[in-house]
């Protein structure tokens, strides 16, 4: 069955000016066969009228943890992994309900979870997964508490060991993650905010260890993403060939130039520190006291350096670190990007076209162009006039993945 949507204001994700009175034609394989101002639906097409609403690509979040949830420590200790799976399924649904049709899971979700969504067993965004974040002993991904208790242990072939030291252990860990189905290799090249025993500015892993990860990932046709906050750790990651820098808090001018030259992606996750403070306020005990202090230390630099990197022309891909924040509130990140100086159109491109490039899915999704999959939204409102309309699920009249409607409230 061919479906056509007409009478829309088209924001195609490329950054081109919006087109009024536009539409899209989608074939029965869920691919776009025509899009633009003068679409001519075939005679047998089901034609839907968007009534002047905005037609745009489904949004892509390049950094989520669908298995993740910040909550009281006791609650986390009392959650068996099989229960966490069902929370993960709920998080996936909330994310898709928010108009996020594709995500990159930066650690936590195993391959079977992605497969369940691909097979239609549970609704959720299309996934690319890292499975786990490689971390050195005592680094950002080492959840050994000072008491000796370890939170969130996962094991077995689906969750290979991720706290590793030295080139040989690192090599084995990357290969085990690839065997378990990782699409990206995630590493922590610096400390972080939520971890118990390091600082965001601390450097983690040696350049040699990171080069091993990049080599092994590339050997399998994959790339690396680095949780990287301090300048030295960002530099180590970039120079070793890591493609995507997550958070990037202490970026300096030299790093910004280097990232531009290498065409690295910056995934800023501006909402993540905001959520750490919200949790601390709303639910005392849900984040470690040092995490609150560290968040306050980094917030100003985070925003300022993101704004400098974006203004300088570093490729920005939208990511939220949801799991730290509530799943389903992802589009708040676009508001924060605009507050930091991006135009609404730039925030949309970061959440569509550039995000698809960051996920290596630019040939399938990210823009509304002929031949791509019909991952799209119809939004009641003009996000170019008010980016906040994207955060209101009630305004999402249609949420479509590969031509299939997840939500259809188009009258």
Q: Which is nearer to Zn ion, 268 or 383 (CB)?
A: 268
Q: How far is the CB of 68 from Zn ion (least distance, A)?
A: 8
Q: Are 311 and 266 in contact (CB under 8 A)?
A: no
Smallest CA-to-CA distance from 26 within 58, 48, 50 is with 48
Instruction: Using the CB atoms, write b or e for 105-139: b if 16+ within 10 Å.
Output: bbbbbbbebbebbeeeebbbbbbbbbbbbbbbebb
Are 22 and 348 spatial neighbours (Cβ–Cβ below 8 Å)? no
User: Cα(183)–Cα(213) distance, rounded to whole angstroms?
Assistant: 13
Given a contact cutoff of 8 angstroms between Cβ atoms, the answer to whether 382 and 343 are in contact is no
Nearer to Zn ion, 45 or 106 (CB): 106
Minimum Å gap between C-beta 299 and Zn ion is 16
Question: What's the distance, CA 68 to chain centroid?
Answer: 13
**CB-wise, 269 or 354, nearer to Zn ion?**
269
Residues of this chain that interact with Zn ion (CB under 5 A) are 106, 321
**Minimum Å distance from CB 177 to Zn ion?**
16
Q: Which is nearer to Zn ion, 106 or 399 (CB)?
A: 106
Give whichever of 211 and 227 is closer to Zn ion, judged by the CB atom.
227
- Rounded CA gap, 369 and 149, in Å? 51
Minimum distance from CB of 154 to Zn ion (Å)? 16
DSSP assignments along 57-88, one per residue: EPEEEEEE-TT-----HHHHHT--HHHHHHHH
SS3 content of the chain, % helix, strand, coil (to 5): 35, 20, 45
Considering beta carbons, is residue 61 or 321 the nearer one to Zn ion? 321
**DSSP tag of 343:** -
Cβ 321 to Zn ion shortest distance, Å: 4
Q: How many CA atoms lie within 13 A of 37 on its CB side?
A: 5
Q: Which is nearer to Zn ion, 4 or 133 (CB)?
A: 133
In angstroms, give the least distance from the CB of 306 to Zn ion: 16
Provide the β-strand partners of residue 24.
Answer: 5, 35
Strands of 59-64's sheet in order across: 59-64, 100-105, 126-129
Nearer to Zn ion by Cβ, of 6 and 185: the residue is: 185
């Amino acid at each position: 069955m061919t479906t056509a949507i007409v009478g829309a204001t088209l924001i195609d994700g490329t950054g081109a000016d919006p087109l009024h009175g536009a539409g899209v034609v989608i074939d029965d394989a869920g691919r776009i066969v025509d899009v633009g101002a003068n679409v001519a639906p075939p005679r047998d097409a089901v034609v839907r009228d968007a009534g002047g609403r905005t037609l745009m690509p489904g949004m892509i979040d390049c950094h989520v943890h669908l298995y993740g949830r910040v909550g009281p420590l006791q609650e986390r200790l009392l959650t068996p992994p099989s229960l966490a799976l069902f929370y993960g399924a709920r998080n996936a649904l909330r994310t898709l309900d928010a108009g996020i049709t594709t995500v990159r899971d930066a650690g936590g979700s195993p391959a079977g979870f992605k497969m369940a969504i691909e097979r239609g067993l549970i609704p959720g965004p299309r996934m690319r997964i890292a499975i786990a974040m490689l971390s050195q002993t005592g680094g950002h991904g080492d959840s050994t508490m000072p008491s000796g208790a370890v939170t969130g242990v996962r094991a077995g072939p689906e969750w290979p060991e991720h706290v590793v030291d030295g080139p040989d252990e690192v090599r084995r860990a990357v290969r085990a993650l690839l065997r378990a189905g990782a699409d990206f290799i995630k590493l922590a090249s610096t400390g972080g905010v939520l971890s118990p025993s390091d600082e965001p500015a601390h450097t983690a892993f040696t350049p040699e260890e990171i080069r091993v990860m990049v080599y092994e990932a590339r050997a399998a046709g994959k790339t690396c993403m680095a949780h990287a906050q301090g300048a030295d750790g960002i530099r180590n990651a970039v120079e070793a060939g890591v493609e995507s820098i997550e958070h990037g808090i202490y970026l300096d001018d030299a790093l910004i130039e280097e990232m531009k030259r290498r065409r690295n992606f910056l995934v800023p996750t501006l909402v993540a520190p905001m959520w750490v403070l919200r949790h601390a306020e709303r639910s005392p005990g849900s984040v470690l006291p040092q995490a609150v202090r560290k968040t306050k230390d980094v917030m100003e630099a985070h925003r300022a350096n993101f704004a400098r990197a974006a203004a300088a022309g570093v490729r920005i891909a939208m990511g939220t670190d949801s799991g730290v924040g509530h799943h389903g509130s992802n589009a708040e990140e676009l508001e924060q990007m605009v507050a930091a100086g991006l135009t609404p159109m730039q925030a949309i491109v970061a959440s569509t076209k550039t995000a698809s490039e960051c996920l290596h899915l630019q040939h399938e999704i990210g823009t509304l162009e002929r031949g791509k999959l019909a991952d799209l939204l119809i939004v009641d409102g003009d996000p170019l006039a008010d980016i906040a309309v994207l955060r209101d699920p009630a305004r999402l009249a249609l949420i479509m993945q590969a031509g299939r409607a997840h939500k259809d409230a188009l009258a």
